[in-house]
Structure 1
Amino acid sequence: MELISAAAEAFSEKYTSPEGEVLYKLNRETHLKVELPHMLSGHVQGRFLQMVSHMIRPRRILELGTYTGYSAICLAAGLPEDGMLHTVDINEELETLCLQYFEASGYSDKIKMHIGKAAEVIDSLDEVFDLVFIDADKAGYVHYYDLVWEKLRPGGFILADNVLYHGQVLQPENEQGSQAKAMVRFCEKVLADDRAEQVLITLRDGLLLIRKK
């Protein structure tokens, strides 16, 4: 399902600050060499993530789902000198590509990449986070939300990607795939959580922005 028309996407990109050389090259290499390139945050969403990071000025960021590192680089842009972003992915085959572009971006000293299962890595981190970006396996979102909540400072933010899941969440329940159903369950969980306030942003494939009260 086309959520946003190609013309609107093109208009949005035209009036959004450009990616910059490193992100452009990473975007292109991902599309040329890596499976499922639609998983990349891309130009407009990447700039949005960067803008959010600049606004919050987080000292600690947790990202679940590195893929090729595009969103990590965008989020790292708002970190202060002593800031750190922990990014987690289960696919060790992409680690070399990620590290290459982290180095090229100039943020390699602020990004720590973890290869492994997200739940296990979250448990191992002795950190308090200002911002969490969830973009991992969709069936795990509910569990990851619970795991990161106690590690998120009061007033901190969670951003969850793909909550519209290609428009499938708008279909009748009996026509939704398992991933779309997982996104609906996640959104319902957050809606029912009186510890949080949230807004669903219809950017790209849907972002749920959550603030811990």
Structure 2
Amino acid sequence: MKFINPEIETYAIDHSTKPSEACKKLELHTREVEPMSRMLIGEMEGSLMASLIKLSRAERILEIGTFTGYSALVMAEALPPNGEVVTLDIEQRDYTQSFWDQSTHGSKIRFIKGPALETISTLEGKFDLIFIDADKTNYLNYLQKTLPMLSAHGAFVIDNVLWSGKVLLPASSDDASTAALQVFNDWVSSRSDLRVTMLPVRDGVSLIQKSGH
């Protein structure tokens, strides 16, 4: 489901800052070899992420769900020279590191392999931005487990929160991902200690901060 008129979306992309050549190459390769290439965050969302990082002056980012490494590279390029992206996934594509290495910002990325609910426990320190774009059934678990790791002025960016509009449908035990997203969206929006802004960008993006910051 398209939440924004395709012509308007194209116009917005055409009038936004373009991704780097390294990001373009990784995006093109992903679309050529990955059957699920639609999972990429895309140019519009990537530009939004880069702007959020610049505006917040983030230095340390946690990403849950690496996929082909495109979003990690987009975020790394927006960080200052001392910045770091820690990205977690159960597997890494065999070509991902080579594309990161083609960018002068690739050294800012640290990949940790394994189930995220386990590897999160090995992390230390605070993160200025936490990007969740992994298995939907664990979204709430990921957020609850990383909430103490968010810096005082940090933010969560949560992808796919509108799930092609399926979050509007009645809850169904036959669709675990949709049901989990409905629970997640209801939970975060009901919390008085969280400030949530849901944007109809691509498949829906929620920005979540601790209230009072």
Query: Could you tell me which of 125, 129, 132 is aligned with 1:131?
Result: 129
Residues 63 and 108 of structure 1: CA distance in aligned 2, closer, same or farther (over 3 Å): same
For 1:109 and 1:126, locate their aligned partners in 2 and report how far apart those are by CA, in whole Å. 19
Moved over 4 A (4+): none
Q: After alignment, is 78-87 or 31-40 more displaced?
A: 78-87
Deviations 1:114-168 (A, max 9, x none): 1111111110001211110000100000000110011111221000000000111
The match for 1:31 is 31
Helix, strand or coil for the counterpart of 1:105? coil
Q: 1:203 to 1:176 in 2, by over 3 A?
A: farther
1:210 CA drift (Å)? 0.4
1:66-112: CA deviation from partner (whole Å, max 9, x where unpaired): 111111111112322222110011123x1x32211211121222110
Matched AA of 2:188 = V
Q: Which residue of 2 aligns with 1:56?
A: 56
**Alpha-carbon distance, 1:212 to partner:** 1.6
Contact between 1:168 and 1:177, CA under 8 Å: does it hold in 2?
no
After TM superposition, the structure 1 stretch with the greater mean CA deviation from structure 2, 201-210 or 12-21, is 12-21
- For each residue in 1:142-197, what CA deviation from the matched residue of structure 2 results, as whole angstroms up to 9, or x when unmatched? 00011001111122100000000011112233598321221111111111222210
What is the identity percentage for the equivalent residue pairs of Structure 1 and Structure 2?
A: 32
Q: Which amino acid aligns with 2:200?
A: T
Structure 1, unaligned stretches of length 5 or more?
Answer: none
Is the 8 Å Cα contact of residues 76 and 106 (structure 2) preserved in structure 1?
Answer: no
- Within 5 A, what are the aligned runs for 1:172-187? 172-174=170-172, 177-187=175-185
Unaligned runs of 5+ in 2: none
Give, in whole Å, the separation in 1 of the partners of 2:151 and 2:58: 11
User: In 2, distance between residues paired with 1:12 and 1:79?
Assistant: 23
* TM-score for both structures, normalised by structure 2: 0.93
State the distance in 2 between where 1:138 and 1:190 align. 14
2:186 to 176, 185, 188: 188
SS in 2 for 1:66: coil
C-alpha distance in 2, partners of 1:174/1:160? 22
Give 2:69's aligned amino acid.
Answer: G
What's the counterpart of residue 100 of structure 2?
102
Residue in 2 aligned with 1:199? 197
Q: Residues 153 and 212 of structure 1 are in contact (CA less than 8 Å); yes or no, is this contact kept in structure 2?
A: no
TM-score by length of 1: 0.93
The 3 A distance-change label for structure 1 pair 35 and 127 is farther
1:9: Cα distance to partner? 2.1
Tell me whether 1:119 sits opposite 2:117 in the alignment.
Answer: yes
Show the counterpart of 1:161. 159
